[in-house]
Amino acid sequence: MRDYHTHTFRCKHAQGDVEDYAKYAVEYGIDVLGVSDHTALPDNWIPEIRMDISELPDYVEAIEKAQKKYPQLRILKGMECEYEKKYYSFFQEELLGKWGFDYLILGQHLFYCDGQLVYFWKDIKGAKELKVYTDLLVSGMESGLFTFVAHPDAFGSFYLRWDEEAKACSRYIIEAAEAYHLPLEINGHGFRKGEIKTAQGVRLKYPLPPFWELASQYNVQVLVNSDAHQPQEVGAFLTEGQELVERYGLEIIDLLEFLEL
């Protein structure tokens, strides 16, 4: 089993360091562990959900130490990033270049809409915010910096209806994934986030089954990750994610082969 999306204490809302996740991964029978904490940013934008820029060397060192301590486990050096054009050179030259990251994940957790900061997990929003989220996500996909898209359907947390707007935005994201050969992630953490009441019934915030049903109509690849925020969450809910893969006949890829590492 493989899991390419996990965090560490540095993002301030997860527990444990790389070695704790690695130890658990070995016990759980995982053979590839991707460590992908919420990225540091040069201007420390919204510091409460990410590591400080000064912690970057320590994060890299923690990964390299764990790689030495657990040689039976393949540990990859990753980062989960919000896209903004102004960070392009930081991602490209610092993370992928200087620090030699194996991969970057695109995960759009917050964004500005009409000058207001929108956190996807905080408030219920409308079609305008959905459109801004979608456009920003797709511009990140176009940037060529990222290896896959985390929880593309996380807009289900703030946009409650599955309507024409939701379908159009989903199609736009899925078409970009097809055009840029960018796998989409079914995110295990969503199964833990609980349910939400909508006019169309009670459902998970994400994953959104109709999004994945729509994805099955395109030539796109998917992967399932835990998005663990605690060591014992490594590998969690992969079975539930796999169930969606099977239900809709989606094409699953292994990231290691995809990355040609």
Binding site for Zn ion (CB under 5 A): 80, 227
CB of 219 vs Zn ion, minimal distance in Å: 26
79 versus 130: smaller Cβ distance to Zn ion: 79
115 versus 223: smaller Cβ distance to Zn ion: 223
154 versus 163: smaller Cβ distance to Zn ion: 154
User: Which residue, 172, 257, 156, 260, is CA-closest to 220?
Assistant: 172
Give the burial class of 238: count Cβ atoms within 10 A of its Cβ; 0-12 exposed, 13-18 middle, 19 or more buried: buried
CB of 53 vs Zn ion, minimal distance in Å: 18
Structure tokens at 50: 């990410």
CB of 72 vs Zn ion, minimal distance in Å: 25
11 versus 165: smaller Cβ distance to Zn ion: 11
| CA 139/CA 38 separation, integer angstroms | 19
The 10 Å CB-count burial string (b at 16+, else e) for 169-189 is bbbebbebbeeeebbbbbbbb
Residue number of the CB closest to Zn ion reads 227
CB of 151 vs Zn ion, minimal distance in Å: 8
| CA 4/CA 9 separation, integer angstroms | 17
